[in-house]
Chain A
Amino acid sequence: MSKPDYVQIVEEMFAKTKDKPTKDFTYLGKHVVRWDAISKIMGKPLFTADMINLFKNAVFVHSVRSKYAHAKIKKIDYSEALKYPGVLKVITARDIPGINDVGYVLPDQPLLADRKVRFIGDTVALIVAESLENARDAGELVNVDYEPLPVYTDVLQVIELNGLTEKEHVLIHDERGSDVLSRYKIRVGDVEKAFKEASVVVENEYRTPMQEHAYLEPEAAIAIPEPDGSVTIYAKTQCPFDTRRAVSNVLGLPFNMVRVVAPALGGGFGGAEDVGNEIAAKAALAALALKRTAVVLHTREESIIGHTKRHPMVAKYRHAASKDGTLLAVDADIVLDTGAYASLGPFVGWRAVVHSTGPYKVRNARVDLAVVYTNRIPAGAFRGFGNPQVTFAVERQMDLLAEELGMDPVEFRLKNILRNGDRTVHGQLLDHGVGLEDAIKRALEISGWSEKRKLYSTLKGPARRGIGIALMYHGNSIGAEGADFSTVSLIIQRDGSIIFRTGLTDMGQGSLQGLVNIAAEILGVPPSYFKIEPSDTAATPDAGPTVASRSTAMGGNATLVAAYKIRQRLNKLAAEMLGCASPEDVVIEAPKVYCKDQPEHHITWKELIEQTFWKGIPIQEFGYYRAPPAEWHEETGTGQPYFTYTFGAVVSDVEVDIETGLTKVVEATVVYDIGRVVNRTGAEHHGVGGYIQGMGYALMEDTVHSENGHVYSTSFSTYHIPTGLDIPERINVDFVEAGFIRGPFGAKGLGEPSIVAIAPSIVNAIAHAIGSKQANRLLNRIPATPDFVRGVLKRAGLAR
């Protein structure tokens, strides 16, 4: 079978440009001022809640949430609420015209709970009123008759860590017959034999917290009933097409009767994925029931209780190595807590298992991973998607192994990392650029690793310094989770300006600027000629979800294909107009267009475009790219899970106060192999932003549930994220560009990878600062809050 043309085009562009240094491109890899920067410094972009002003006579929807984290619902009585001033309607599960479900991967999550509630944020009824205040007040008057059930807030109440057998308990999802959502495994080589032959074995148990996205823009949705019975929804969502699917499902309407627009997004990080579906469906239900514009607006508390989090992990890892520092085997049991509903849990679990042995050559591995329901807030997609959890464990293990072997942690890693030509644990041949070694070397150089590592080891006194490293790799795009495609549409206007459309969203990271840079580079026109339209299911093509670091790689390829096809046609026409020897000789440097050897004789871009209208040459293009099929063998955990991987090395330099346990990151260095820098501003933002978010994960963030499933940390005074005072003085960001033949100009993704290795690099640095073998083993959980670190110091006999 011959290759589809879009694959050929992407490969051809890569071949042509792979030796061209990034600095020689005009827009690619440059600091281009993002398209919305000027409007943002003027405070102009409209985020969803800002649009409420534009609608007169709207109604407000308040979600009445559960009083128990686990209970049967016997009866819902809202007659009192209906009498409250301003209340127009109370909506319960019975009023849903379509299917009462907003589950993402599985139909396990009712939009409005009818039979039972499974966590404290479950919605039992919607109050629709003339004002938000009325709606909230009336919420108190909804009387639900509950029959409380036992509440599980720790996965180990549901499953045994050793052997991963489900424990006897009252089922949260009785309809499924088990609270183990999904299981994954890796079985390669002969683990038992490897452990027998090993000279060093390291075993430890790890725990990671339930991180909250804490995007600053709380959720909002506005639904407008249209005259033809359809509905238009503006909502905070990072995947408008998924939101449309969910809302269509709930309303029982075809896709073309539901339009979802994503206005400016105040951060997403994965958290605006399924909550967008939920709020949009709630607003749409109210709008269609009352034939009035309906608004859902979350407070910070509701946002924290209502949207999915990062899966907490409990894991037991055993690693074996030979005397010379060769990694022999990995043996692990891992449990991820998906909370009350599956959300993207099955996919998160899969990504976790794929990455569960880190970016190393591992020939013998046994890994078992279970994703398990509890009565905590559901966990779902969060930047890194299962990888930060396992990478924390793996990278801590690497340091423990190095210590046992008496090796420098870098030396030990260098002995075992994946390089070009190696096979991953899944047996996948890395036959293209693998820039991990270069990334490590550069990170060491920038951070001054060797000197600092030595110097810090000699420091005494209460303020200790430490420097730690962690490595990561991260499969690009969706991989074997599902069909993986992306699209864009480019439409050149009669005056030569260009409309750029894609269903991908920009949550703030600026990924769409990267796509414009690609189109601009290929067409030879400045980015300022482009106008990016907001993602809108009625106007932009379905580009797949904006997740999994796929915008630059997948969307970038689709853009490249579209621009390439238009450029071919323009070259042909321009060659005719100018009399160039060959279409290949046409140079476009808009506003000028000329033949290579005759730069002084030129026509204008506008003239060229004008001619296309008279010749009937199409200058719109729908760019499409579909990822090569991934392959995964369930029984062995082998195959080709992702078409490529982003690699990275992170070095953290910390100061630990031995008296208080307080850790301060002093300096950090991150170096990522992203194949080719496409959007330098955005890439640096990911480097820095991912570090800071990862630092929060490492040192302060956790969503704390009480034993009965209530949430303590529902505000920024109880859920701490890094402020300007917490961040290191400097975060050095650099890139390695080990091109990848199937990426646009060789590019790979960076959104998620940017958080993966931060926490272990910081905890490894803490361990170095403390300098005790015993403490090193006790530093097995995050967040490493001052009281936790102090506890470790005490147990290691280093503090009173």
Chain B
Amino acid sequence: MSFKINLKVNGKEHVLEVPAHERLVDTLRYRLGLTSVKEGCGRGECGTCIVLVNGLPKHSCLTLTATLDGAEVLTLEGLAPEGKLHAIQLAYLETRGVQCGFCTPGFMMMTKALLDTHPEPQQEQVKEWLSSVLCRCGSYHYYFAAAKLAAKYIKEGKIYLDEKQVREKYHMKVIGR
């Protein structure tokens, strides 16, 4: 059996015909080509597939697409408009935590959900929210710092940054001490 649903993904409306058992992670990755959404476990344990559904973090591997008629989904691809980077992305760059990067999209979406709920999060809140994503390379400390830095930027109104400028300023450049 399949269902016809309306789904708004990263601001774009889609009309999709999906089988009843199709998971959101597959819809996003294989139907819509949004491969920032990763699958690390397929059972809600690693957090690499986390996206925002109607503003709340959800494991897309545990969500059936057919249940989402009329919902809004946000993935990392939609965090900032074309040609821009979001403050969260800049913060992750500046705190230098990214290693293999497989977990990073999940962390950034979780950070977005956290900051939407708690614009000035305490360290404990940062830890609690971000602990739902695993990082085997061990970048946790850096990511916690990134969440705080992002909060600061957002508070200062620095939400979207020009991608080209960021590239010029940071690509293989020496930063920090």
Residues of A bordering B, CB below 8 Å: 26-27, 30-38, 40-47, 49-50, 52-53, 213-218, 264-267, 269, 299-300, 507-510, 513, 516, 526-528, 530, 681, 685, 688-693, 715-717, 721-725, 727, 730-731
Contact B136–A41 (Cβ < 8 Å)? no
Contact B96–A31 (Cβ < 8 Å)? yes
Contact A38–B131 (Cβ < 8 Å)? no
- If over half of A's interface residues share one DSSP class (helix, strand or loop), that class is named, otherwise mixed; here it is loop
Contact A40–B33 (Cβ < 8 Å)? no
Given contacts A216-B102, A266-B101, contact A30 B167 (CB under 8 A): no
Closest to B45 in A: A716
The 8 Å CB contact of A267, one of B42, B43, B137, is B137
Closest CB of chain B to A726's CB: distance in Å? Answer: 8
Given contacts A33-B171, A52-B30, A526-B172, contact A42 B100 (CB under 8 A): no
Which of B39, B85, B143 has the most chain A CB within a 10 Å cutoff? B39
Closest to A23 in B: B177
Closest CB of chain B to A276's CB: distance in Å? Answer: 15
Give chain B residues whose Cβ lies under 8 Å from the Cβ of A34.
Answer: 98, 172
Contact A216–B48 (Cβ < 8 Å)? yes
Give chain B residues whose Cβ lies under 8 Å from the Cβ of A214.
Answer: 136
Give chain B residues whose Cβ lies under 8 Å from the Cβ of A26.
Answer: 174
Give chain B residues whose Cβ lies under 8 Å from the Cβ of A215.
Answer: 100, 102, 136
Closest CB of chain B to A29's CB: distance in Å? Answer: 10
Q: A35-B171, A693-B136 are in contact. List 9 more A-B contacts (CB 8 A).
A: A40-B98, A42-B85, A43-B37, A509-B100, A526-B173, A693-B138, A715-B43, A721-B136, A724-B140
Closest CB of chain B to A279's CB: distance in Å? Answer: 16
Closest to A41 in B: B89
Give chain A residues whose Cβ lies under 8 Å from the Cβ of B20.
Answer: none
- Pairs A–B under 8 Å by Cβ, sample size 22: A32-B175, A33-B175, A35-B172, A37-B96, A37-B98, A38-B93, A38-B170, A43-B76, A45-B101, A49-B39, A50-B35, A214-B136, A216-B100, A217-B102, A508-B100, A689-B137, A693-B136, A716-B41, A721-B134, A724-B144, A725-B131, A727-B141
Contact B172–A689 (Cβ < 8 Å)? no
* A49, B141: Cα distance in complex, Å: 28
The 8 Å CB contact of B131, one of A45, A46, A530, A723, is A723
**Stretch from B52-60, B103-111, B152-160 forming part of the interface with A:** B103-111
Closest to B48 in A: A216
Give chain B residues whose Cβ lies under 8 Å from the Cβ of A528.
Answer: 171-173
Tell me if B121 is interfacial: C-beta within 8 Å of chain A.
no
Closest to A718 in B: B45
Given contacts A42-B76, A724-B127, contact A689 B138 (CB under 8 A): yes
Contact B38–A216 (Cβ < 8 Å)? yes
Closest to B104 in A: A40
Give chain A residues whose Cβ lies under 8 Å from the Cβ of B108.
Answer: 41, 43
Residues of B bordering A, CB below 8 Å: 29-30, 33, 35-43, 45-46, 48, 75-77, 85, 89, 92-93, 96, 98-105, 108, 127-128, 130-131, 133-144, 166-167, 170-177
* A45, B104: Cα distance in complex, Å: 11
Closest to A506 in B: B100
Give chain B residues whose Cβ lies under 8 Å from the Cβ of A526.
Answer: 172-173
The 8 Å CB contact of A300, one of B41, B76, B135, B144, is B41
* A528, B96: Cα distance in complex, Å: 17
Give chain A residues whose Cβ lies under 8 Å from the Cβ of B98.
Answer: 34, 37, 40-41
Contact A32–B29 (Cβ < 8 Å)? no
Contact B29–A53 (Cβ < 8 Å)? yes
Closest 6 CB pairs of A and B: A508-B100, A43-B36, A266-B102, A689-B138, A40-B101, A692-B138
Contact B174–A31 (Cβ < 8 Å)? yes
Given contacts A681-B96, A688-B141, contact A725 B128 (CB under 8 A): yes
Closest CB of chain A to B42's CB: distance in Å? Answer: 6
Contact B76–A31 (Cβ < 8 Å)? no
Contact A31–B172 (Cβ < 8 Å)? no
Closest to A43 in B: B36
The 8 Å CB contact of A46, one of B35, B40, B127, B144, is B35
Contact B102–A267 (Cβ < 8 Å)? yes
The 8 Å CB contact of A41, one of B38, B93, B138, B141, is B93
* A264, B137: Cα distance in complex, Å: 14
* A26, B137: Cα distance in complex, Å: 27
Closest CB of chain A to B123's CB: distance in Å? Answer: 9
Give chain B residues whose Cβ lies under 8 Å from the Cβ of A513.
Answer: 172
* A41, B104: Cα distance in complex, Å: 7
* A516, B177: Cα distance in complex, Å: 19
Closest CB of chain A to B69's CB: distance in Å? Answer: 24
* A685, B30: Cα distance in complex, Å: 32
Closest to B91 in A: A41
Closest CB of chain B to A688's CB: distance in Å? Answer: 5
Closest CB of chain A to B73's CB: distance in Å? Answer: 14
The 8 Å CB contact of B127, one of A38, A269, A725, is A725
Contact B43–A300 (Cβ < 8 Å)? yes
Contact A510–B99 (Cβ < 8 Å)? yes
Give chain B residues whose Cβ lies under 8 Å from the Cβ of A721.
Answer: 134, 136
The 8 Å CB contact of A216, one of B128, B130, B135, is B135
Closest CB of chain B to A66's CB: distance in Å? Answer: 22
Give chain A residues whose Cβ lies under 8 Å from the Cβ of B171.
Answer: 33, 35, 38, 528
Which of A43, A52, A267, A715 has the most chain B CB within a 10 Å cutoff? A43
Closest CB of chain A to B157's CB: distance in Å? Answer: 20
Closest to B131 in A: A724
The 8 Å CB contact of A36, one of B77, B101, B133, B136, is B101
Give chain A residues whose Cβ lies under 8 Å from the Cβ of B102.
Answer: 47, 215-217, 266-267, 508
The 8 Å CB contact of B99, one of A50, A508, A722, is A508
The 8 Å CB contact of A716, one of B92, B134, B170, B175, is B134
* A264, B100: Cα distance in complex, Å: 8
Give chain A residues whose Cβ lies under 8 Å from the Cβ of B172.
Answer: 32-35, 513, 516, 526-528, 530
Closest to B34 in A: A43
Closest CB of chain B to A780's CB: distance in Å? Answer: 27
Contact A508–B141 (Cβ < 8 Å)? no
Contact B140–A692 (Cβ < 8 Å)? yes
Contact B177–A31 (Cβ < 8 Å)? yes
Contact A265–B100 (Cβ < 8 Å)? yes
The 8 Å CB contact of B92, one of A41, A510, A693, A722, is A41
Give chain A residues whose Cβ lies under 8 Å from the Cβ of B30.
Answer: 52-53
Give chain B residues whose Cβ lies under 8 Å from the Cβ of A264.
Answer: 100-101
Give chain A residues whose Cβ lies under 8 Å from the Cβ of B170.
Answer: 33, 37-38
Given contacts A40-B98, A693-B138, A724-B130, contact A217 B38 (CB under 8 A): yes
Closest to A54 in B: B33
Give chain B residues whose Cβ lies under 8 Å from the Cβ of A509.
Answer: 99-100, 137
Which of B41, B76, B100 has the most chain A CB within a 10 Å cutoff? B100
Contact A33–B93 (Cβ < 8 Å)? yes
Give chain B residues whose Cβ lies under 8 Å from the Cβ of A213.
Answer: 136
Contact B141–A689 (Cβ < 8 Å)? no
Contact A685–B137 (Cβ < 8 Å)? yes
* A612, B127: Cα distance in complex, Å: 55
Which of A216, A516, A723 has the most chain B CB within a 10 Å cutoff? A216
* A52, B167: Cα distance in complex, Å: 28
Give chain B residues whose Cβ lies under 8 Å from the Cβ of A731.
Answer: 141
Contact B45–A267 (Cβ < 8 Å)? no
Closest CB of chain A to B31's CB: distance in Å? Answer: 9
Give chain A residues whose Cβ lies under 8 Å from the Cβ of B167.
Answer: 38
Contact B173–A217 (Cβ < 8 Å)? no
Closest CB of chain A to B172's CB: distance in Å? Answer: 4
Given contacts A43-B77, A716-B45, contact A688 B100 (CB under 8 A): no
Which of A41, A691, A721 has the most chain B CB within a 10 Å cutoff? A41
The 8 Å CB contact of A685, one of B38, B77, B89, B139, is B139
Give chain B residues whose Cβ lies under 8 Å from the Cβ of A37.
Answer: 93, 96, 98, 170
Give chain B residues whose Cβ lies under 8 Å from the Cβ of A717.
Answer: 43, 45
* A53, B177: Cα distance in complex, Å: 41
Contact B85–A41 (Cβ < 8 Å)? yes
Give chain B residues whose Cβ lies under 8 Å from the Cβ of A266.
Answer: 38, 40, 100-102
Contact A508–B137 (Cβ < 8 Å)? yes
